[in-house]
């Protein structure tokens, strides 16, 4: 009996061992997918250490970006490169940071590595889609200098991007700069915006090497043989300093330059993510990578945050309208008639505040704004108000204004003229974000930074300017067709489309102006036209009545930066289409890649005597043909067709 038991025991033991090994192998595939790559890369002839990090989806590995971090055995310097399908995305580029206490860019030695899977799900209040899923591999590499100064380089990789950041322990002193840079092939196509403190520079096309010497916005788009890559930043707070790109003509190198010569730190530090949104153009355009990298929402109850379309009165009536209660009531009446949920009172009303004695406890009674808010509320319209940053600059000013606006019933604030990404201004952002969340005020930042993940962490931020928008008289049609692939990729953009009255002051046609309301995403989509300009264009006006400001999905149907951009955005069971073009008149041919089945498609285009609406029934995957005038465009809406259906409008 004993001998029989001994003969039988190895089989279940072997099975258990096999199961255990299989389980361990599966775990290693999830938590440490790149260990094997390290040895393979080292044996391929690279001196020193090489680590490879890619996304968790092995089935799609050939199409996903892969980061390689190399430590040079001689100099102790780090570099990072990115490939996609073994093709170049980013060439080996320097990685490092310098503090008061240590130069963490050279003479480094490797300590250890840690891997984990980042898997999250969250729901946004605005953006390209509301439901978000995050799936990334994270690798943390720890290094030390000869003096035992230490830091971690944290790399994340997903299906649509690669990012890295530095994590430093306490006691490192102030940050004096980064050696971080991005090396692009010199002949890579580049779409760059000259840096401005208000982020309102136009985007122009160069090659990586021919771009003039200067500083550029850190939202820069490049095309290499590995596809498209948008450089970006995420999780920027007052703990650090904003970044821009410094370039010298003749090279493909774009260095990270901070807004501050010295970044003051206290305790441990995690720098912002240096992000590379990577893939084909459709992947980059619909990516939420910079939001996905950012911390989770700090607003526990977000039920009061409601995106919507807005009648914006600045380009419609100017400061004079802002100084007149009668004029503002008329705008509210128009918004109510159109069922637009908000009206924005811009500069004008607020300049009268210079005469108010805010030390008087009854100072708020001097304003007619509470009366306007009550009037609008009775008609189902919420009020957004403009306010200058200088009057929210101190804790005392914020303690005066924010509770007052909440008590009056104001729904949101448009805060203007920050014009800086230096650390003190970023610390102000931290304070105003906490304050507006506490007082249930949605936010539109103008003269501002760009989103950089802020809308995930603080979902009351519905939109930011940071763009050469409708107010500009120097915009080009090429600039308008580049924005969906650059600025608007990383978050809501308050371009304020719909300025139909600005004929001769804008570079596009009326149909293109309608199309911008879909092509450009904004949680508060502010329409810049006058009531008269809408009423003389009833097709445009009625289309604007249909537009939501929150989307369930976004797809790029056709596009090439600087030439054309056609986006489809879904709300419920309807897809809205927005197309903008630069250049000569043409018949645009756009694939209807919004799903199988039959669709009723209603489009608005430019005709010889004004806007024209066309209706046709198409199958998913068919091509929409639309006549487009020079520097023109179109707008449209598509819904599931069934016999008897004559319109998608509701």
Closest CA to 479 of 137, 96, 203: 203
pLDDT grade for 367, boundaries at 50, 70 and 90: confident
Annotated catalytic residue 160: no
Cα–Cα dist 242/260, whole Å = 8
Per the structure block, which two tokens stand in for 625? 């043909």
Give the distance, in angstroms, between the CA of residue 172 and the centroid of all CA atoms in the same chain. Answer: 32
- In percent, the amount of the chain with pLDDT more than 90 equals 87
- Predicted TM-score (pTM) of this structure: 0.91
Q: Which residue of the set 64, 346, 421, 471 is catalytic?
A: 471
Sign of the Cα torsion 83, 178, 271, 141 reads positive
Beta bridge partners of 161: 158, 277
Cα–Cα dist 53/226, whole Å = 17
Do 291 and 455 touch, CB atoms closer than 8 A? yes
Cα–Cα dist 218/41, whole Å = 31
Give the distance, in angstroms, between the CA of residue 402 and the centroid of all CA atoms in the same chain. Answer: 27
pLDDT number for residue 58: 76
Per the structure block, which two tokens stand in for 147? 């003096």
| Per-residue model confidence as pLDDT tens digits over 491-522 | 999 999 999 999 999 999 999 999 999 999 99
Backbone angles phi, psi at 63, to 5 degrees: -105, -5
Label each residue of 38-98 as H, E or C: HHHHHHCCCCCEEEEEECCCHHHHHHCEEEEEEECCCCCCEEEEEEECCEEEEEEEEECEE
| Per-residue model confidence as pLDDT tens digits over 20-60 | 444 444 333 333 443 334 433 443 444 579 999 999 987 67
pLDDT number for residue 335: 98
* CATH, domain range 308-551: 3.20.20.70
Backbone angles phi, psi at 36, to 5 degrees: -65, -35
Query: Which of 259-263, 350-354, 496-500, 596-600 is predicted least confidently?
Result: 350-354
Do 110 and 143 touch, CB atoms closer than 8 A? yes
Annotated catalytic residue 471: yes
Beta bridge partners of 227: 224
pLDDT number for residue 45: 41
| DSSP codes of every residue in 104-141 | ETSS-EEEEEEEEEEEEEEE-SSSS-SEEEEEEEEEEE
Closest CA to 528 of 364, 344, 387: 344
Q: Which residue of the set 64, 218, 416, 606 is catalytic?
A: 416
Cα–Cα dist 188/200, whole Å = 24
Per the structure block, which two tokens stand in for 459? 């979902």
Closest CA to 332 of 351, 317, 319: 317
CA atoms lying within 13 Å on the CB side of residue 597: 11
CA 345-349-350 angle, 5° bins: 100
- CATH 2.70.98.10 location in the chain: 27-293
pLDDT number for residue 347: 87
Do 510 and 529 touch, CB atoms closer than 8 A? no
Beta bridge partners of 274: 164, 233
DSSP 309: E
Element (H, E) at 168: strand 161-168
- CATH 3.20.20.70 location in the chain: 308-551
Class of domain 27-293: mainly beta
- 541-549 average pLDDT score: 96
Contacts of 25 (CB under 8 A, 6+ apart): none
């Amino acid at each position: 009996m004993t001998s029989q038991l001994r003969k039988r025991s190895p089989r279940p033991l072997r099975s258990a061992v096999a199961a255990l090994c299989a389980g361990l192998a599966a775990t290693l595939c999830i938590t440490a997918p790149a260990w094997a790559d390290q040895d393979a890369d080292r044996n391929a002839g690279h001196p020193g250490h090489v680590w490879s990090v890619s996304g968790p989806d092995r089935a799609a590995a050939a199409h996903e970006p892969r980061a390689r971090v190399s430590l040079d055995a001689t100099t102790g310097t780090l570099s990072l490169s990115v490939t996609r399908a073994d093709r170049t995305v980013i060439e080996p580029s320097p990685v490092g940071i310098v503090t008061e206490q240590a130069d963490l860019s050279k003479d480094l030695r490797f300590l250890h590595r840690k891997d984990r899977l980042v898997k999250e799900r969250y729901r946004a209040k605005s953006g390209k889609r509301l439901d978000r899923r995050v799936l990334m591999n994270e690798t943390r590499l720890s290094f030390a200098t000869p003096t035992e100064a230490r830091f971690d380089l944290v790399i994340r990789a997903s299906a649509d991007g690669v990012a890295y950041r530095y994590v430093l322990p306490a006691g490192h002193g102030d940050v004096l700069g980064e050696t971080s840079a991005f090396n692009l092939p010199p002949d890579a196509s580049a779409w760059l915006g000259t840096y401005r403190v208000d982020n309102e520079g136009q985007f122009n096309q160069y090659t990586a090497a021919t771009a003039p010497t200067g500083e550029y916005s850190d939202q820069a788009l490049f095309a290499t043989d590995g596809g498209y890559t948008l450089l970006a930043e995420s999780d920027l707070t007052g703990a650090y300093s904003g970044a821009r790109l410094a370039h010298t003509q003749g090279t493909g190198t774009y260095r990270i330059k901070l807004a501050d010569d010295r970044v003051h730190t206290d305790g441990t530090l995690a720098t912002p993510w240096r992000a590379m949104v990577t893939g084909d153009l459709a992947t980059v355009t619909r990516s939420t990578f910079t939001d996905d990298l950012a911390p989770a929402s700090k607003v526990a109850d977000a039920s009061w945050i409601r995106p919507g379309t807005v009648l914006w009165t600045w380009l419609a009536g100017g400061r004079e309208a802002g100084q007149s209660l009668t004029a503002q009531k008329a705008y509210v009446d128009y918004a109510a008639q159109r069922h637009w949920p908000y009206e924005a009172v811009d500069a004008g009303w607020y300049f009268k505040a210079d005469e108010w004695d805010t030390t008087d406890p009854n100072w708020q009674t001097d304003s007619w704004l509470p009366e306007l808010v009550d009037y609008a509320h009775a008609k189902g319209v919420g009020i957004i108000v403009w306010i200058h940053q200088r009057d929210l600059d101190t804790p005392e000013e914020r303690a005066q204004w924010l509770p007052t606006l909440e008590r009056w019933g104001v729904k949101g604030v448009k805060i203007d003229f920050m014009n800086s990404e230096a650390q003190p201004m970023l610390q102000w952002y931290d304070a105003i974000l906490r304050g507006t969340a506490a007082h249930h005020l949605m936010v539109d930042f103008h003269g501002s930074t760009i989103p950089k993940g802020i809308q995930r962490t603080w979902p009351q931020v519905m939109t930011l300017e940071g763009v050469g928008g409708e107010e500009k008289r120097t915009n080009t049609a090429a600039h308008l067709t580049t924005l969906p692939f650059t600025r608007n990729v990383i978050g809501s953009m308050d371009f304020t489309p719909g300025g139909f009255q600005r004929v001769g002051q804008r570079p596009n046609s009326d149909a293109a102006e309608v199309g911008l309301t879909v092509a450009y995403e904004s949680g508060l989509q502010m329409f810049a036209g006058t009531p008269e300009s809408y009423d003389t264009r009833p097709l445009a006006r009625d289309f604007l009545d249909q537009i939501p400001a929150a989307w369930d999905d976004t797809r790029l149907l056709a596009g090439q930066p600087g030439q054309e951009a056609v986006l489809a955005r879904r709300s419920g069971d309807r897809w809205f289409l927005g197309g903008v073009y630069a250049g000569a008149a043409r018949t645009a041919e756009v694939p209807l890649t919004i799903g199988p089945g039959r669709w009723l498609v209603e489009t608005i285009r430019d005709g010889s005597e004004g806007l024209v609406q066309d209706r046709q029934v198409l199958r998913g995957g068919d091509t929409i043909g639309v006549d487009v005038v020079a520097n023109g465009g179109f707008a449209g809406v598509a819904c599931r067709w069934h016999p008897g259906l004559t319109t998608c409008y509701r």
